[in-house]
């Protein structure tokens, strides 16, 4: 689930987004919040993609959480433009987004961390995300140590927090028979959202 | 469905891939062939992601088809490294791939085009992929004209064909409760595939 209670519905593509979201929700879309985030690591000249869970849209900020020492953080620092992609197979709709990413303000990250499950926080605290480790049982041991260290479980560590991206481009893609797909684009040109249809 | 009959199973991560594919297939994974391809357009300094249908793995070439005048073709020409991502929600498995991309050989593209449905070919012939158009009814008109032009329906146009990518990196990610996700990486180092476990 994505918290859309504070989404800015005066932004036209956000209305389309909310409508598709509702349709997918009605079809019980699994992992509706899963979004692929693709980043470019300038020093390696390498693109990487991974799924994250989108947690909120607040005004025009699209927010997920991450370890700040992870590979993706390094990519975001070197190149702040990202591509994001939803695919809801229950309604065969793909939503392609381009935006610019930055760290969410600390107060918001603190608040979010305080309200998470203890178990999730223990993992956020104990894991050096994406670093090599000898075995999965070492992961579990580190996790248990953090979980037992109860007094720190709701205190957000500096190395964990939100990322916000602000989209400047959307494509809403509806899959249809024989590839007669319907595609509608919204993009910011001269500070205004404009829209047009593109070919399948 | 992906045609895996000619996948090279002497390559270790390809064995893992085939096993997860089978598991997802048993769970009737919808759109099992849908893969996100992320590319970098050097002149725009911009990452873009979109889904394509992966059609074959032949030896170590992972093959899908596209219009060669599309936006993604321009990106592939400017930067041949790509990121690819599968997510099979029926088994909660994500497969992250990095590779290098190039055009599939023409004979293979010809053969594939000859064996497709007439309706799909009419669309491939009639659509200037991703170009603006006035209305969706214009898309349908162009499509009907191509479909009625029967003598050319199985002759591949130059502007349409396969893309092959050869992976040099895989991450197999299994989602588990409380984010205790299991992650295993395979990558080519000094011309050899090595593998290791990374933290959730």
Contacts of B167 (CB under 8 A, 6+ apart): B13, B60, B62, B84, B97, B98, B99
Per CB-CB distance under 8 Å, the chain B contacts of A30 are 89
Residue A106: what pLDDT?
A: 98
- Inter-chain contacts counted by CB atoms under 8 A, chains A and B: 159
Q: Is the pLDDT reported for residue B150 higher than 80?
A: no
pLDDT of A177 > 90? The answer is: no
Which chain B positions have a beta carbon within 8 Å of A131's beta carbon?
Answer: 198-199
Place of tokens 């797909």: A181
Contacts of A180 in chain B (CB under 8 A): 123, 139-140, 143
Rounded distance between C-alpha atoms, residue B3 and residue A146, angstroms: 45
**Nearest-Cα residue of chain A relative to residue B195:** A132
Residue to test with chain A: of B31, B47, B70, B96, most A Cβ within 10 A = B47
Distance, CA of B34 to CA of A1 (rounded, Å): 22
- What is the mean pLDDT of the segment spanning A3-21? 97
Closest C-alpha among A39, A123, A120 to residue A73: A39
Check whether B186 has a pLDDT greater than 90. yes
Integer Rg of chain A from CA: 18
DSSP secondary structure string for all residues of B65-119 = EEETTSHHHHHHHH--EEEEEEEETTTTEEEEEEEEEEEPPHHHHHHHHHTS-HH
ipTM > 0.90 (yes/no): yes
Residue A188 corresponds to which tokens in the numbers above? 């910011």
A47 with B38: Cβ contact below 8 A: yes
pLDDT for B14 equals: 98
Residue A17 burial (10 A CB sphere; 0-12, 13-18, 19+): buried
Write the pLDDT tens digit of every residue in B15-67: 999 999 999 999 999 999 999 999 999 999 999 999 999 999 999 999 999 99
User: Which among B44, B133, B97 has a CA at the least distance from the CA of A38?
Assistant: B97
Query: How far is the C-alpha of A13 from the C-alpha of A177, rounded, in Å?
Result: 25
**Is A114 a residue whose pLDDT tops 80?**
yes
**Residue A150 phi, psi (nearest 5):** -60, -30
Q: Which residue from A79, A143, A196 is facing B132, i.e. has the nearest CB?
A: A196
Q: Is the dihedral of CA A95, A100, A105, A110 positive or negative?
A: positive
Q: Which helix (H) or strand (E) holds A99?
A: strand A93-103
- Residues A78-106: tens digit of each pLDDT: 999 999 999 999 999 999 999 999 999 99
Span B79-120, pLDDT tens digits: 999 999 999 999 999 999 999 999 999 999 999 999 999 999
Interface test with A, best of B49, B94, B147 (most A CBs within 10 A): B49
Going B116 to B118 to B124 to B125, the CA torsion angle's sign is: positive
* pLDDT per residue as tens digits for the range A132-169: 999 999 999 999 999 998 788 999 999 999 999 999 99
Q: Does B177 have pLDDT greater than 90? A: no
A3-118+158-198 folds as: Pnp Oxidase; Chain A (2.30.110)
Rounded distance, CA B145 to CA B167, Å?
39
- For residues B72, B36, A82, B94, the Cα torsion angle rounded to the nearest 10 degrees is -160
């Amino acid at each position: 689930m994505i918290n859309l209670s504070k989404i800015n519905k005066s932004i036209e593509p956000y209305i389309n987004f909310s409508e598709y979201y509702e349709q997918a929700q009605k079809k019980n879309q699994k992992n509706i919040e899963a979004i692929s985030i693709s980043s470019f690591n300038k020093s390696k000249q390498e693109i990487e993609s991974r799924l994250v869970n989108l947690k909120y849209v607040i005004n025009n900020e699209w927010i997920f959480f991450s370890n700040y020492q992870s590979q993706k953080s390094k990519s975001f620092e070197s190149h702040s433009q990202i591509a994001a992609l939803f695919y809801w197979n229950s309604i065969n709709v793909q939503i392609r987004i381009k935006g610019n990413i930055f760290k969410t303000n600390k107060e918001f990250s603190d608040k979010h961390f305080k309200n998470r499950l203890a178990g999730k926080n223990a993992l956020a605290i104990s894991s050096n995300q994406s670093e090599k480790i000898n075995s999965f049982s070492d992961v579990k041991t580190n996790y248990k140590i953090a979980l037992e260290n109860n007094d720190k479980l709701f205190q957000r560590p500096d190395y964990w927090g939100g990322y916000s991206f602000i989209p400047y481009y959307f494509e809403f893609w509806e899959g249809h028979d024989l590839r007669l797909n319907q595609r509608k684009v919204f993009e910011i040109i001269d500070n205004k959202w404009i829209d047009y249809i593109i070919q399948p």
